[in-house]
Structure 1
Amino acid sequence: MEKVMLSVLLAVMLGFVLLFVGLFLGVSFYVGREKVSPFECGFDPIGSSRVPFSLRFFLLAVIFVVFDVEIVLLFPVVMMMGSCWMWISSYLALLGFLVLLFGGVVHEWREGSLEWEM
């Protein structure tokens, strides 16, 4: 029990040390007009440097990340399919997981988040 507490304490302390080092290194000591203005190959910037971001693109990227993680979660199950160690409860859990993901795809499709047109 003492080793576990020591490990947790060490991990928390290391996290705080890295946090403060990052905060210290992230502080900009010189802030001037040239530092905060956008640089476009030596020319004066044309228009605003802050372009409005498309929320639909962001939602599509989030959907991609969710289904990318789904593939990572399904990979060990696919590798175990041929072995005799996979029980009926594993198959039922896999089936439930796939039904949940398919329901998510159907919901996103009906909502219109999978459309590329703006």
Structure 2
Amino acid sequence: MKLIYLMILITLMLTIIIMMLASIISKKSINDREKNSPFECGFDPKNMTRLTFSIRFFLIAVIFLIFDVEIVLMLPMILTFSISILKLWTLTSIYFVLILIIGTYYEWKFGALNWL
């Protein structure tokens, strides 16, 4: 049992030593302005590192993602048409498309789809 504790202790000590050596070796000693600047950006990184983020762009990206996932969910409906009950398949398809139409109308009504 003492041998297991000794092996665990040696493993932990070796791990801590390797992590400390890696952190010491990886430190940069020379701060060069060219290496610290963004690649081909044209902005000085010391003045302003963050620019304002357009919430409109984020909203359009989320809407695209949602409708992209819904298209992926609609594709298997075509494959299940031949093996499912027609009445149940039709009701499910209509319900799914109706939810999509209501969601699109909601986004349109509150101006999420306006580009200006």
User: What's the TM-score bracket when you normalise by the shorter of the two chains?
Assistant: 0.5 to 0.7
Task: Please state whether the residue corresponding to 1:53 is helix, strand or coil.
Answer: coil
Cα root mean square deviation, aligned:
3.1
Extract unaligned runs of 5+ from structure 1.
Answer: 1-23
Q: Determine which structure has greater relative contact order: mean sequence separation of CA pairs < 8 Å that are 6+ residues apart, divided by chain length.
A: 1
Determine the structure 2 residue equivalent to 1:105: 104
Tell me by how many angstroms 1:44 deviates.
7.0
Tell me the amino acid that sits aligned with residue 92 of structure 1. Answer: L
Q: Identity, % of aligned pairs?
A: 34
- TM-score under structure 1 normalisation? 0.60
Determine the structure 2 residue equivalent to 1:91: 90
Determine the structure 1 residue equivalent to 2:59: 59
**Matches of residues 1-118 of structure 1 in structure 2 within 5 Å?**
29-30=26-27, 37-41=36-40, 45=44, 48-81=48-81, 83=82, 85-87=83-85, 88-117=87-116
Question: Is 1:38–1:45's contact at 8 Å kept on the other side of the alignment?
Answer: yes
Question: Is 1:38–1:49's contact at 8 Å kept on the other side of the alignment?
Answer: no
Change in Cα spacing, 1:92 to 1:40, as seen in structure 2 (3 Å) is same
Tell me the amino acid that sits aligned with residue 72 of structure 1. Answer: V
Structure possessing the higher radius of gyration over alpha carbons: 2
Change in Cα spacing, 1:86 to 1:34, as seen in structure 2 (3 Å) is farther
Extract unaligned runs of 5+ from structure 2.
Answer: 1-18
- TM-score under structure 2 normalisation? 0.61
Cα distance per residue 1:27-59 (max 9 Å; x no partner): x75377659943345x77175231111001100
Tell me by how many angstroms 1:61 deviates.
0.3
Tell me by how many angstroms 1:91 deviates.
1.8
Between the aligned partners of 2:113 and 2:43, the Cα distance in structure 1 is: 38
Between the aligned partners of 1:62 and 1:44, the Cα distance in structure 2 is: 28
Between the aligned partners of 2:50 and 2:63, the Cα distance in structure 1 is: 25
